[in-house]
Structure 1
Amino acid sequence: MSPQVHHVTHPLIQHKLTLMRQKDRSTNSFRRLLNEISMLMAYEVTRDMPTSMIEIETPLETMQAPVIDGKKTVFVSIMRAGAGFLDGMLNVVPGARIGHIGLYRDPKTLVAVEYYFKMPADMHERDAIVLDPMLATGNSAVAAVDRLKETRPKSIRFVCLLAAPEGLANFHANHPDVPVYVAAIDRQLNEHGYIVPGLGDAGDRIFGTK
């Protein structure tokens, strides 16, 4: 496995992911589990975030203590499924800014088509964390990071729930400098470009649209 792939194997994450995979899981339950997993994964992806020291007063004395600057972090949601990952991340880093990249996958070519792009100002001062539950063919992830790099953020990380080996290979062939944080690497893609065994279409299961 590439050193740029961080496989997050915490038992709580793996347990909740197993529940999410079940085909009879309700929309409400699926959404709640994704929120919980995204909170847990937020701890992993922010593990080495830089901190600065500030002076505070405890009930007993004045001291220097570390804080992170959440406003320098940008969660970049790849619409629409990335929205399901976003709330849990914000519960952990509530001061983060939010960017959106709207992409859909052409059903015939599987090529990512952009329809929306909005980022905070001064991206050169910010660390970007890209969110999308599924890294399947990798085409959407590649297109999103291509576009994001035009804003020249300080750093980029990509967080997903599931990945296919083909998608990881495609992503890192195009962006070898961007680390990927993933809860599970499944067997392969099927002929329709879906991850198997997978969990189905994440967007449809989050929003109850199928």
Structure 2
Amino acid sequence: MKMTDKKEAISITESFIRENEVYNSFVVDSANIIEREAVWYVPFKELNPNPDNILVGAYNGLIVDKNSNEFMQPGSALDLETWMYGFKIGLRGGRQDLLIEKINDYRATLEVLDKLGLTYVKIKLEGKTEWKIPKDFKRKEIKKRLDKLPCIFKNQAFTFSIDEFKQIRNERMFEYKLLKSENTDQNILGELI
């Protein structure tokens, strides 16, 4: 399998800069590119920085997967090393499905799934109005799912759950896959039930 090299990671970042108007005066900061085992971090910088024009909310750079060319612009809520680790283990932003294939520690699995804040959405009709009501999975609902493996929790937001997934991996609580959610309605966060 062909790995994404530094040149390709730069090209992906340059395309991102061109396609996003807010970065029209930015260029790749080649001197500060970071390489890790599975990812590149390609920063970009403003050519003529204006101290009155400060962008807040995201790093000026992209994390690029060496195997798939997938990329993500990390937010400012976490440090860069944490973002790169999360990206490496499959937390790519957006909505994902959590497929649990095998449980090694049932009690620990329940505890961490509670921490993940798994949600579902029920649709309620009131006259001609359709209400999409988000709800958290209760422990008994999670247990019911775990009783029939493999099980899946669809359309979840794990972007800021890096510490929990690190714990899952380190303690080998359960075996799982993170899949890209097939949900196309961005107004719904959680599994549609």
Tell me the TM-score range normalised by the shorter chain.
under 0.3
| Larger Rg, first or second structure (1 or 2) | 2
TM-score by length of 2: 0.24
TM-score by length of 1: 0.23
